[in-house]
Chains A and B, each alone.
Chain A
Amino acid sequence: MSQQHSIPVTLVAGFLGAGKTTLLNHLLNSDHGRRMAVMVNDFGAINIDSQLIVSQTQTTVSLANGCICCTVEGDLIAQLSTLLADPQTRPEHLIIEASGVSNPVKIANTLRYPQFRQSLHIDGILTVVDAAQFDDLDSDMTRLATEQLDAADIIILNKTDLLTPDQRTALKSRWLYPNARVIESEHGVVPLALLLGVERKTTAEPVSPDGRHTPALTAPTTTFETFKAVPHQHDSLFNTWSWQSDIPLNLKALRNVMASLPAAIYRAKGICHVAEARDQRCILHLVGTRCEITPAGPWKGATPGTQLIVIGKRGAIDANTLRTLLEACHDESNLGVVID
């Protein structure tokens, strides 16, 4: 099998005017250190700083930081196949703007087709909502709105400054669902770590065999478990915690915990040692309300263990609560063995 790395894909959905292009611009122009490809409907609308443009064709704009921006025309399957097949254009991260009138669920479904399983995976689906326009939609638009919110892993609620507190509450109770992950933003400016699950690439990050970026982790410790806040350069609004354990985890319990994490937690990622698949390293990838735990090959001599990093809102997460939740996932049948 090819050793090509699987490319993380971020899908950005939302109505026209909701702030998608502001967000895309932010992503394109940020100092993320990755070669990104951005697929948009119309790059004229993105307003790319001409200083950054290295070259431009009818359908593609290349930027000085290595990013490319291309228009989505017609068949996404065909276009993705072309993009991935050419080593010259193969990006390290792909961002797809779901047009303001298209259903992001369909795009997400396409990205999960078997033919792309080795070459890309959905990192996150972000739905940008214009708080001011969202509560005044006709019925067709209402349907699309629910589809966009259904698809969303994380909802970015823009322009909330235009709402009164009462309006804000009404909006949330009408449109949101339990445990929805909502980031309120005034200008589409949201920390990259939340949007893309990556930091600025200052040091080489270890990459798992299937290509999914795993957090920079320290060597497995002999400690039973740790849970601590990690100092980080994030926006001061967010915080990162890590947790380690060498006791296998019960899969169902772990999934339940991930499904019921406080809404203030936006991402979690890492390697898991799962009782139901002991011989496999499993990658845990949580973005907003979606969590995937996927086998990623044998341990190859490494000591099996779980190492997770969790990103959430500063001040809204109690480390002890998180630790208690995760400890409860320890597979009982193995406790004795480890204590011995």
Chain B
Amino acid sequence: MITSSTLSTPSFIAASSPKETADIVLINANIHTVDDNIPWAKAVAIRSGRFMAVGNKEDVTPFIGDHTKVIDLEGRFVMPGLYDMHTHPDLALAPGYADYLNIGLEDPTPEEVKQAILDYADSHPGDGWVYGQYFVRYTFKQAGLVADRDWLDSFMPDRPVAILDRSWGCMMVNSRALALANITAETQDPRHGYIERDSITHEPSGILVDGAYAIIHATMPPTPQHALTRAYREGLHFQSGHGVVGTKYVHVCEHRLNALRSLDQDGKLSVRVEAAISWQDDIFPVKRRWELLAGERHYYRSNRLNANAVKFHFDGTHESRSSYLSTPWPGEKNWRGHLNLTPEHIVDMVVDMDRKGIRVIAHCTGDGASDIFLDAVAQARARNGNSGVRHQCAHSTTLLDTNLARFKALDVTAEFSPVGWFPSSFANARAVFGEERMQRAYNFKGVIEAEGNAVMGTDWPVSSLNPWIGFEAMITRQNPFGEEEGQFFGQPISLEQAIRVMTINGAWCMGIEQHAGSISIGKSADLIVLDRDLFDIAIKGNLHATQVELTLLEGEVTWDRMGAFTDTDMAATWQEPLPAF
């Protein structure tokens, strides 16, 4: 320990000495630094992944040497890279890449379903699962058949089969699948679902409804590694191409961490990733949760990757009126929504995780849920002192005004997801909290004015992985695409505030604001070059369409649409066109 700290001091001084030359120098730029000491600059010099100079051309010229790559940005706008603090590329993409059975017909007849299962089994020999989609119960009715285990057993008795119904109303499994999952007459029904059974013998029929899928998923092999890796790779590619330098993939398991680690080792982790271990097995089973939380998570740690967080759904959703509110839902006498964990559970968990140095990211859509979460963090602070762990209130759709100041006081991040910030049929359908609550929905402004830390998360696939859409909408609260007129509920924030939300606030939320999040001397050389000056455009209808010309993370070129580094040894991590999601 002593050795490493004595070594690091001289190296830092050397990095800022004019005798050292820069790897990259950007000149003739219009740089919004998000650093109050030097808010605007024209040039930067980068060496070994850090900014060694920020200022005018004359400040960087002394660092230009024979091997320095000097780029004239011709007045282009530059700002720190973006932070997307809540998203799910794996959930959005991996199932589609898993090579599961896809019958691919709109109305397959039972005979077609049978043939597809047999063909899949032939092309995937062995005793593995035949899992996929879809069958249509109606076509069974038309054929005078019953969709159940007996039907599947009649042609595939020895190999586990699980086929989803087209409308996701149920899953049909055979006897082998039931046996592997240990689903018998005695098995208890899950929450929010059931095992269809014979009314007299209670033997399972092979039809599983809603929550009962999880029993099969827990038995099946995890989503294949190649599918998870591909999903994350494409997600990272898209994010780098949109200027993201820091992100959180919330809900991971050991397999997802392995996929992220393999990308990290391949040099493809082009965004800093905080991966939050799922606290909930109904999303996907996390078989090594307790080993991970006890310390196995450190195995994955690098300067780009950490798994020092947990994620769970503390309450429900808008659509199902299960968000947990501080007072009853509109039109209800008693119904306040639903908590998935008891308040006691959350207090013990937050105190325990906080003590371990693990960030708790709690999905709280209702103002009652975030209230209880903040209480739990207060308990943790009271019992553990300030551990330095900044917990995160995810979505924060509605917050109590009385809680706004607590974000600052308790060092909790208020994270907002942009899906409902602008008028659209989707957002309008979700605006169900009642007029009074909706007026203070997505209260960035309230949190920021109370000096708390507010960030955004795209929450893909709930909304687009493109962070620029929400970036625009938090400033306008209007539909970026002009599909619908008018301003949505809640208060817009200024461009300057929104830039901080997208940059330094994200770095704070990841606990790295001392090293990243602004264009400052000594900090990680993260920046993006844009095709437009955000201070010189009409925000509405324009900001969301911003093209990122260049993305640097730790001085590494992750995205280079302008081709500035093509054919150099600093060529961008991602060379192919952006994936279109």
Interface 0/1 of A13-43, CB less than 8 Å to B: 0000000000000000000000000000000
Shortest C-beta distance, B281 to chain A (Å), equals: 18
| A150 close to B137 (CB less than 8 A) | yes
Instruction: Answer whether residue B18 sits at the interface, using C-beta atoms and an 8 A cutoff.
Output: no
| A139 close to B209 (CB less than 8 A) | no
| A103 close to B167 (CB less than 8 A) | yes
Instruction: Answer whether residue B338 sits at the interface, using C-beta atoms and an 8 A cutoff.
Output: yes
Residues of chain B at the chain A interface (Cβ within 8 Å): 106-107, 136-139, 141-144, 166-167, 169-170, 189, 192-194, 199-201, 209-210, 316, 318-322, 329, 331-335, 337-338, 432
From B166, B320, B334, A143 is in contact (CB under 8 Å) with B166
Residues of B within 8 A of A105 (CB): 137, 167, 169-170
| A78 close to B137 (CB less than 8 A) | no
Residues of A within 8 A of B200 (CB): 251, 274, 276-277, 282, 293, 295
- Given contacts A74-B432, A82-B335, A146 and B107 within 8 Å (CB-CB): yes
From B169, B316, B331, B332, A109 is in contact (CB under 8 Å) with B169
| A78 close to B335 (CB less than 8 A) | yes
Residues of B within 8 A of A139 (CB): 106
Residues of A within 8 A of B321 (CB): 73-75, 78-79
Instruction: Answer whether residue A167 sits at the interface, using C-beta atoms and an 8 A cutoff.
Output: no
What are 7 A-B pairs with beta-carbon distances under 8 A?
A: A74-B432, A81-B335, A82-B335, A105-B169, A150-B136, A179-B144, A180-B141
Cα separation A146 to B166 with both chains bound (whole Å): 11
| A114 close to B189 (CB less than 8 A) | yes
| A147 close to B138 (CB less than 8 A) | yes
Interface hub of B141, B166, B189 (most chain A Cβ within 10 A): B141
- Given contacts A78-B338, A274-B200, A177 and B144 within 8 Å (CB-CB): yes
Residues of B within 8 A of A224 (CB): none
Residues of A within 8 A of B144 (CB): 177-179
Residues of B within 8 A of A251 (CB): 200
Given A73-B321, A143-B167, 14 more pairs with CB closer than 8 A: A75-B320, A75-B321, A86-B333, A109-B170, A112-B209, A113-B192, A139-B106, A146-B107, A146-B138, A146-B139, A150-B136, A177-B138, A179-B144, A289-B141
Residues of B within 8 A of A177 (CB): 138, 141-144
Shortest C-beta distance, B188 to chain A (Å), equals: 8
Cα separation A238 to B199 with both chains bound (whole Å): 30
Interface 0/1 of A102-127, CB less than 8 Å to B: 01011001101110000000000000
Residues of A within 8 A of B137 (CB): 105, 150
Shortest C-beta distance, A161 to chain B (Å), equals: 26
From B138, B169, B332, B337, A82 is in contact (CB under 8 Å) with B332
Shortest C-beta distance, A256 to chain B (Å), equals: 12
From A74, A85, A103, A274, B169 is in contact (CB under 8 Å) with A103
Residues of B within 8 A of A282 (CB): 200
Instruction: Answer whether residue A303 sits at the interface, using C-beta atoms and an 8 A cutoff.
Output: no
Shortest C-beta distance, A286 to chain B (Å), equals: 13
Cα separation A277 to B432 with both chains bound (whole Å): 49
Q: Which of A246-295 contact B (CB under 8 A)?
A: 251, 274, 276-277, 282, 289, 292-295
| A147 close to B167 (CB less than 8 A) | yes
- Given contacts A78-B335, A139-B106, A295-B200, A149 and B169 within 8 Å (CB-CB): no
Residues of A within 8 A of B142 (CB): 177-178
| B199 close to A150 (CB less than 8 A) | no
Residues of A within 8 A of B334 (CB): 82, 85
Residues of B within 8 A of A143 (CB): 106, 166-167
| A106 close to B169 (CB less than 8 A) | yes
Cα separation A179 to B143 with both chains bound (whole Å): 11
Residues of A within 8 A of B209 (CB): 109, 112
